[in-house]
Structure 1
Amino acid sequence: MKKIVTLLFVVFYLTNGIGQTFKVSKKIAINGDSGWDYLAVDDVNQKLFVSHGNVVNVVDLKSDAVIFTIPNTKGVHGIAIANDLNKAFITCGAENAVAIVNLKTFELIEKVAIEGQKPDAVLYDAFSKKVFTYNAKSNDATVLDAVTHKVIKTIPLGGKPEFSVTNTKGLIYVNIEDKNQIKTIDATKLEVTATWSIAPGDEPSGLAIDLETNRLFSVCGNKLMVIVDALKGKIIKTLPIGDGCDGVAFDAKKKLVFSSNGEGTITVIKEKNNTSFMVQETVKSKKGARTIALNPSNSKLYLSTANFGAKPKPTPENPNPWPSIAPNSFMILVVSSGQ
């Protein structure tokens, strides 16, 4: 009986926010009423790159001020940071191109056309000095030489790719959203080497990795996080998360995984060891905050969102319309811990 009472108290303690350690500590206002997708932290230079319509906003993380806007990134989705090359690689989904910019001056170095259609997520792999763009319409990955900017190869993936991570030793992982899979790519041979089912996870989007324990964290549209052995492809555990997830971040210092849920929450999961995981807390964020980036230097989290107006009526061409964005309401939520 005592154990049951204690358990009920713990559940009440967490679900009522009493035991929460994370909260929205600041909101950074950014001009412009367009939509958004990924955002990425440049840890070395302490800058945040934010996809925003047809531009990328750059935020100085020391002052939390917008210091530059990178223009002409039409249909921007993803940003990959390559500190060893002083470059950022930005997917321009509406142009089937990758914009390459200087990390310090933010000036355009080159814009490279690719064969893949509608590039979305993007990954820089320092091990191979290659950039992988994941192309939503053509169901493939285009590979660029990060030094010369030359397109090397386009790899068929057999499904719609989403986010990707590297093990930093020559193996790339990518979620395949419409097949409920994770595929592995050899970064040297540029070939798919394995295909792993992550069922019961459905519509995987965000992906993160613990390089120490070789664990992959895949967040799925059916409100599940699927934790996978990155060496064998075996599912270790599934855990509940919030609705509308599109991103996930892993804090290697604190051994915490964060799922950003569009419903307006962040699910925080604690990794006790490579087989033990638990939901630590659910943090209130804001509706629409579905993508996330972690600053490894101070463990702060950044999420893009806005205020919303009325939702349009569904049409045959657009059966699931997004609600309108309220003018001048785009913002970055800064989430931090008091501990």
Structure 2
Amino acid sequence: MKRYTASLAATCCLIAMSSIAQTPYKIVDQWKLGGTGGWDYLLADGAAHRLYITHNGRVEVVDTATGKAVGAVTGLKSTHGVALDPDGKTGYISDGAGNAVVIFDRSTFAVLATIPAGTNPDGIAYEPTTKTVWAFNGRSNNVSVIDPAKKEVVATIALPGKPEFPQVDGKGSIFVNIEDKNSIVKLDAAGKKAVATWALPGCESPSGMALDSDHSRLFSVCDGNKMPVTDAKTGKQIALATIGAGPDAAGYDAKAQLAFSSNGETGTLSVVDAANGYKTVQTLATKKGARTMAYDATNNRIYLMTAEYGAPAAGSKRPSVLPDTFTVLVVGK
């Protein structure tokens, strides 16, 4: 009887977990922010109910409880990424065209310091064991390690190619996609050095990356509709999931063990079940151009950026972003 009860309980648990994983996502809200020009990465601060959105030469700050803008960090040249200090007081922005990292006050949104970095800093991350900020420079193919207390670069680490989005495991390791080499580099925070380079078979031009720290898995999103899953300890590929076209960002829900890919070309959000064979269990229609996103674990929401497009500007092949159509899509269950 005990065996039957235990078996039945385990089966019920698996069914419940499967149900959680397969409950479909949907667009539950849209927040129109307006403004002009394009955007890059987003970052959710669930505890503070805020969403940071890099938007040309500024970073928009949105209250996720109301969908209303509460302020902006301004005066920059071309923003790409945002990282937050665990102190709850300060944040860090990669200003690509300014070749700098900007420290800002999260209460007033005032710029506190501007620190020269490499050429075109893009991805950025805060590393908690060393209390350093890592800015990945897309054109100089290196990473600037910044001590925010000293407000200076304390190390510059060469990389084998163009870095894209990084992830930090909180235990002293940093991982970053190398876009033009179809690989991942692992870095040691304490030693301030690269310690491994891992190939990404079946991947072309990896951009966004998500991390499952509980199971040591990295999810990269690539051209060619692929999401390679990499063992963060050994560098070996575990799986190669199928996603939508034109991905640029990835996210991960640790509770449901779901990985996400925002696909700008197809205008979809791919949901991959990391607990059951890395199958794509949902393809949600979003909007063409919605290529970057942020996952908020506190409310199980996904935020994607999008806009309306017009004809390309003179001398450009890219469609232009129509003024005042800058919008956040809110995805939930």
Q: How does 1:2-17 map to 2 (within 5 A)?
A: none
**Separation in 1, partners of 2:45, 2:127:** 15
- The reply on whether 1:29 has 2:29 as its aligned counterpart is no
Aligned to 1:12: none
SS of match in other structure, 2:71: strand
The Cα offsets for residues 128-182 of structure 1, whole Å up to 9 and x where unpaired, read as 1111111111011101013322211111102000000011111110000000000
1:325 aligns with 2:300: no
Look up the match of 1:230.
232
Aligned to 2:128: 126
The whole-number CA distance in structure 2 between the counterparts of 1:280 and 1:240 is 10
The one-letter amino acid paired with 1:300 is R
Partner Cα distance (1:84, 1:221) in 2: 37
Q: Shift in Å at residue 82 of structure 1?
A: 1.4
Taking only the aligned residue pairs, the percentage that are identical comes to: 39
Say if 1:73 and 1:91, in contact at 8 Å, map to a contact too: no
2:181 alignment partner, SS class:
coil
Matched, 1:52 2:55: yes
Please say if residues 76 and 90 of structure 1, whose CA atoms lie closer than 8 Å, have aligned partners that are also in contact: yes
**Aligned equivalents of 1:146, 1:170: Cα separation in 2:** 17
Structure 2 partner of 1:201: 203
Task: Provide the C-alpha distance between the structure 2 equivalents of 1:122 and 1:29, rounded to a whole number of angstroms.
Answer: 26
**5 Å matches for 1:201-220?**
201-220=203-222
Letter aligned with residue 265 of structure 1: T
Match of 2:290 in 1: 289
CA–CA separation in structure 2 for the residues paired with 1:20 and 1:167:
28
- 1:69-94 deviations in whole A, cap 9, x for unaligned? 21112100000111325211001111
Query: Which residue of structure 1 lines up, in the alignment, with residue 7 of structure 2?
Result: none
Divergent runs of 4+, >3 A: none
Aligned to 2:332: 336
Tell me which residue corresponds to 2:138: 136
Q: Is the 8 A contact 1:40 1:79 kept in 2?
A: yes
Task: Write the letter of the residue equivalent to 1:90.
Answer: I
- Tell me if 1:91 matches 2:87: no
Mapped partners of 2:76, 2:330: distance in 1: 25
Q: Once the 2 structures are TM-superposed, how far is the Cα of residue 20 of structure 1 from its aligned partner? A: 6.6
- Label 1:43 to 1:147 Cα distance change in 2 as closer, same or farther (>3 A): farther
- Contact 1:205–1:218 (8 Å) recurs in 2: yes
Matched AA of 1:249: G
Stretches of structure 2 lacking an aligned partner (at least 5 in a row): 1-21
| 1:272 to partner: Cα distance | 1.2
Does residue 72 of the first structure (1) align with residue 75 of the second (2)? yes
Aligned to 2:254: 252
CA distance in 2, matches of 1:85, 1:286: 33
For residues 268 and 127 of structure 1, what CA distance do their matches in structure 2 show?
31
**TM-score of the superposed pair, with normalisation by structure 1:** 0.89
Shift of 1:103: 1.7
